[in-house]
Amino acid sequence: MKKIKTAIIGAAGYTGGELLRLLVYHPACELVYVHSNSQKGKKVTEVHPDLIGDTELVFTDKVETEGIEAVFLGLPHGETKGFLENHPFSPNTVIIDLSTDFRNESNGFVYGLPEVNKAKIKTAKKIANPGCFATGIQLALAPAIAKGWVKDTIQVSGITGSTGAGKKLAETSHFSYRTGNMSVYKLFTHQHLKEIKQTFGQLNPVFKQELLFVPYRGNFSRGIWITAYFPFEGDLDDAIKVYEDFYQDAPFTHVSDQDIDMKQAVNTNKCIIHLQKENGQLVIYSAIDNLLKGASGQAVQNFNIAFGLEETTGLNLKSIAF
């Protein structure tokens, strides 16, 4: 298999570490260099000790563009545009950005949610990777939105692990705050709502309903659990069939007829969905790993699609389960 010359920019954080974990053994990837301004000169394993024995790469603060066929951008939100202006890559380089900067599909970027935009991603050179909450919510609701089932406000709650806040320390990510605790943040105003509504408008141009999202900080390190519901007059079995048909060509999104739990998805690139109907409401649960399907795993999935590889290449991961 031909190796694709690849670089990671901003690889010192959690998503950068997960990209490295996936790409050092990816059969079609040759990691040419790994960039970090803050960790330059250090061995990757000094910053990501989980990779001891897996790589001898050293962080560099130099940015090479010549000969790079794919680049993953793990820069802080708001910095990608300036970086690309200062470091122009070849028009043939596939750029996969994990920040929020181009999720509105500006500057030629395609929104990289494979379950909805796979055809666009196949020919894209610029891909904006979705946010973690956005991924879990969109996959929970996309078939229902496409079918026009939602006639009223959608109620959504989501719980995320502490790694969703990034590696930089903050009061609400400390162990002493998170353990045995739960709190709400960005009530109804979360930044991922913009990209969610963009996708829902793509799936159903007449969709204008409100989405009331309550995000919670969870007392665990990784994973996302979504609960969404809305009034539904249809039959549950018919709804399940619609969801199964919608995701029949999506190798990582699975509709379960059994109750699910979040650990089934943690450490994988899966989104696991379960539906039930209660009190006239269609209730949808979805579970993902915020660092994989919600970030780095989905980025590698987009890499695979853009280069015509099998979509699951390098992503056949077993959940931790217990």
Helices (H), the chain: 14-23, 44-47, 80-86, 114-122, 132-147, 175-178, 193-203, 236-246, 296-306
Could you tell me the sign of the dihedral formed by the alpha carbons of 194, 74, 22, 311, in that order?
A: positive
Q: What are phi and psi of 228, to 5 degrees?
A: -135, 145
Could you tell me the sign of the dihedral formed by the alpha carbons of 245, 247, 249, 252, in that order?
A: negative
What gap in Å lies between CA 303 and CA 322, rounded to an integer?
Answer: 30
Check 132, 196, 275, 288 and give the catalytic one.
Answer: 132
Pairing of strands 110-111, 126-128: parallel
Total Cβ atoms within 10 A of residue 68: 20
Q: One-letter amino acid identity for 251?
A: P
Angle formed at CA 13 by CA 18 and CA 166, multiple of 5 degrees: 105
DSSP-derived secondary structure letter, 254: E
The distance from CA 52 to its chain's CA centroid, rounded to whole angstroms, is 25
Residue tagged 């290449």 (tokens): 313
Q: Does the annotation mark 271 as catalytic? A: no
Task: Point out the residues that are catalytic.
Answer: 132
